[in-house]
Structure 1
């Protein structure tokens, strides 16, 4: 699948898919012409990223809604210890 097909199937803009590739979340193969060639597994990875994003939206929204500079919810999810107060 090329990036346009993956974009249509996932509902994500091609720019977002390229960004995910740039930060290492996706690694599509490249054709001899240099174009991205997403496998079914690559397209499934995008679905998994979207599910993860949906799962994390609630704690992120709640964390940033209380005007605190730290975020115990996100620190816990990241495996970081909270600073002793």
Structure 2
């Protein structure tokens, strides 16, 4: 399967597929014509990586998960450990985003809008607000 067909099948850009090839994540075979040719197994690996990336795993984590996926001697506990560590990172990001949301929401609620130059949002962003955390 050629790279354009792989891109359509996976939803990945050709640039991403080439990048994954170049870093050794999922490498295609080169045909006699020099074009990359992807097997069904490589297509499946790219789909796996795409799903991992959608879940926010880093390239390095994707590499580790892909190695575990292809290791028939893998331990499920290793996979769970990687996923659990990533879940903790996501939970920390969510908590941070919730705090940012609360702060910005408070600033927006304090501002009455209108024609007055006084604006609690500008003051809050300048660090002069009472609700700055």
Instruction: Give the TM-score normalised by the residue count of structure 1.
Output: 0.65
Shift of 1:61: 7.8
CA distance in 2, matches of 1:60, 1:33: 48
Runs of 4+ more than 3 Å apart: none
- Considering only CA atoms, is the larger Rg found in Structure 1 or Structure 2? 2
- Counterpart of 1:17 in structure 2 is 17
- Counterpart of 1:62 in structure 2 is 93
Structure 2: any 5+ residue segments left out of the alignment? 58-86, 98-133
Higher helix share: 2
Do structure 1's residue 52 and structure 2's residue 83 form an aligned pair? no
CA deviation vs aligned residue, 1:4-55 (integer Å, no higher than 9, x gap): 0000111111011001111111111110001000000000001110121123
- Counterpart of 1:27 in structure 2 is 27
- Counterpart of 1:83 in structure 2 is none
C-alpha contact 2:28 2:37 (8 A) present in aligned 1: yes
Instruction: Give the TM-score normalised by the residue count of structure 2.
Output: 0.43
CA RMSD of aligned residues (A): 2.4
Structure 1: any 5+ residue segments left out of the alignment? 67-85
